[in-house]
Amino acid sequence: MNTEQETPVIVVGALNLDVCGVPKDDFRPRDSNPGRVFVSAGGVGHNIARHLASAGVPVELLTVLGDDDIAWLLTRQCGREGVSLSHAMRLAGGSGTYCSVHDTDGDMLAAVNDMSLLDAFTPDCLAPRLPMLNAAPLIVMDANLPKDTLEYLAEHAAAPLLLDPVSGFKAERVRRVIGRFAAVKPNLLEAERLSGEGDPARAAAWFLRQGVSQVFISLGNRGVYYAGAASRGHLPAPAMRVKNCTGAGDAMISGIARAMLLGAPAEDAAAMGLAAVTKHLLAQGGSFL
């Protein structure tokens, strides 16, 4: 994506170290399994920022890092990816870490996450950074943040806000301020948790009634339901053989964010979101059917 944008998009959310183990053969519980271990930077906020940076969008990740060696590794990785951490907070404690074990098909068997440092990401951390936040062309938020912090940012930010609810449980953190978001990208479970509607069209209509301008409900391999002021409808996903769908939602929201920067209507933003997902899945070893 060619852009003359200079002021960065700000992503406010999680950055953590992902440690993923994949056994060579069938997984044996309570035993040491030969296989491969992959270490990389992760977290919803980071993943969105990484996709934006790879598309040529200047991006700042506002997050928290600990005072450990993991923070050094994460900072170095973000630098290689073009994700700025110049305003990230460095706090006492361990940086976020996510440890998982997947089977040979890529499905998760078990995981443990230590994201306790995010609890220290309070509204007091955001208050002195509001001038920077308000100057951004767009703020992307993930709901891993504490409830008070999400509400504070939603109520005080002047820049347009794009929300990834992350999970049904975490989506509840933004219920009180949902109408302050310019756009939201829940999956169907998250949309139903907030709206009480299991049908994508009715769920999207609920979000619009709350004051949200654009709604994008991701439906997995069925595509995305979109709704905005001028149009609403369903865009199917291309038929694909998928090896690993992890991170597809993060890719979609990055495509939607790029469309919002261009002032695109909801249908075009949904198409850009699907295109970003397709590109991500192909990079993960997927193929068209």
pLDDT at position 4 is 56
For residue range 14-44, what is the model confidence (pLDDT) as tens digits?
999 999 999 999 999 999 999 999 999 999 9
For residue range 109-166, what is the model confidence (pLDDT) as tens digits?
888 989 999 999 999 999 999 999 999 999 999 999 999 999 999 999 999 999 999 9
Print the SS3 string covering the chain. CCCCCCCCEEEECCCEEEEEEEECCCCCCCCCCCEEEEEEEECHHHHHHHHHHHCCCCEEEECEECCCHHHHHHHHHHHHHCCECCCCEECCCCCEEEEEEECCCCCEEEEEEECHHHHHCCHHHHHHHHHHHHCCCCEEEECCCCHHHHHHHHHHCCCCEEEECCCHHHHHHHHHHHHHCCEECCEHHHHHHHHCCCCHHHHHHHHHHHCCCEEEEECHHHCEEEECCCCEEEECCCCEECCCCCCHHHHHHHHHHHHHHCCCCHHHHHHHHHHHHHHHHHHCCCEEC
pLDDT tier at 246, thresholds 50, 70, 90: confident
pLDDT tier at 244, thresholds 50, 70, 90: confident
For residue range 41-92, what is the model confidence (pLDDT) as tens digits?
999 999 999 999 999 999 999 999 999 999 999 999 999 999 999 999 999 9
Mean pLDDT of 175-188: 97
pLDDT at position 189 is 95
